[in-house]
Amino acid sequence: MQQQTLGLTTLFADEWLAVVDKPAGLMVHDSKLARGETDFAADRLREQFGKPIFLIHRLDRATSGCLLLAFDRETASALGKTLMSQDVDKEYLAVCRGWPEPAFTVDHPLDGGPGKPEKKPAVTHFTRLTTGELPVPSNGFETSRYALLQCRLETGRFRQIRRHLKHAFHHMIGDTSHGDGRHNLQFRMRGVHRMLLHASTLSFTHPVSGERIAVTAPLDAEFRKAYALFDWDEKML
């Protein structure tokens, strides 16, 4: 890998914290799910900023977008408390199969992933931004239907959005663990090889200045390919 590809795009930074744009396919940190992986966002960011970093939240490997970190323990602790108080607003974009209702909420408890069987409350709010169709027969229909969703997390459980969309029978496109392989294939055949989940916006109160910080991460090339399939407006971000 060439050196210039190692740095993550910085969306906001000051002496206390930063928000970076994590690319899809990059693991945030080492874990039981790493399976021999040696390239992690946390390691890149320590080198990139030249100092310790403290991750405030996580993104799945296949998810792109806004990732919040702090540069000292005090700021990390303050941001952690802000996160727990639900004063951090996180919005995601996802493409799912089918045309769900214009707005719906999934309230369905989830476990914590491998080795964490205890189920805890999990709530996700979804808004349908637009819809599209591909000329592929599906389930007795002449076309295959898809929707672009805005997703707001009320809780932050393991793979919450992905698992909640599966629970609602509107599987996320590109999700090889909880999605629908038939629909994933249709997108791969059209050049879209990533899971279509993007942490698009992040807003929070700065723990030092008290200012409200709002950051938006742009879509990557493959997510824009999905938009292009349906002539969706990239301003829907």
Q: Which residues does the annotation mark as catalytic?
A: 60
Q: Residue 176 corresponds to which amino acid? A: T
Instruction: Say if strands 64-70 and 123-134 run parallel, antiparallel, or are unpaired.
Output: unpaired
Closest CA to 11 of 2, 3, 1, 22: 22
Sign of CA dihedral 164, 169, 173, 175: positive
Q: Can you read off the two tokens belonging to residue 159? A: 């793979």
Sign of CA dihedral 50, 220, 38, 6: negative
Count of alpha carbons within 13 angstroms of residue 129, beta-carbon side: 19
Residue 160, judged by CB atoms within 10 A of its CB (0-12, 13-18, 19+), counts as buried
Q: Can you read off the two tokens belonging to residue 14? A: 């000051």
Query: What are the start-end ranges of the H helices in 91-203?
Result: 160-167, 181-188
List the end-to-end C-alpha distance of the chain, in Å, as a whole number.
Answer: 30
Question: Which DSSP symbol is given to 59?
Answer: -
Q: How far apart are CA 98 and CA 189, in angstroms?
A: 19
Instruction: Say if strands 64-70 and 197-205 run parallel, antiparallel, or are unpaired.
Output: parallel
